[in-house]
Amino acid sequence: GAGVSQSPSNKVTEKGKDVELRCDPISGHTALYWYRQSLGQGLEFLIYFQGNSAPDKSGLPSDRFSAERTGGSVSTLTIQRTQQEDSAVYLCASSLIAGGPLFFGPGTRLTVL
């Protein structure tokens, strides 16, 4: 496809379970970002990948959150032992180069019961 894709589009899980969210960036884009958007809140930066450089993990809210990017393309955001406060829309974005515009995916809506 032409744009950033994310899966699943919706995820409902029970408190304490682990979840994996997937992001397929636009082909050829070197930079990949994860953000989350909670109800009534702005976008919160989580993590940034740029090429083969070490990722900027400064936005991850706790050690329950981790992300990886395999082969410079697909990325997976993992949340372990989910909590109700993790409920949010998780957005992935990619850009051709650092400093270029970010193109966002449709997001994954995570609900932790």
Partner 1 sequence: SQELEQSPQSLIVQEGKNLTINCTSSKTLYGLYWYKQKYGEGLIFLMMLQKGGEEKSHEKITAKLDEKKQQSSLHITASQPSHAGIYLCGADSSGTASKLTFGTGTRLQVTL
What residues make contact with partner 1 under the rule CB under 8 A?
Answer: 4, 31, 33, 35, 41-43, 45, 48, 50, 56, 58-59, 91, 93, 95, 98-107
The residue among 9 and 17 lying less far from partner 1, judged by its C-beta, is 9
The residue among 14 and 27 lying less far from partner 1, judged by its C-beta, is 27
Nearer to partner 1, 40 or 71 (CB): 40
Give the nearest distance from C-beta 54 to partner 1 in angstroms. Answer: 11
Beta bridge partners of 12: 111
Q: Least distance from C-beta 81 to partner 1, angstroms?
A: 26
Q: Are 68 and 62 within 8 A, CB to CB?
A: no
Cβ closest to partner 1, residue 72 vs residue 106: 106
CA angle 69, 76, 37 (to 5 degrees): 115
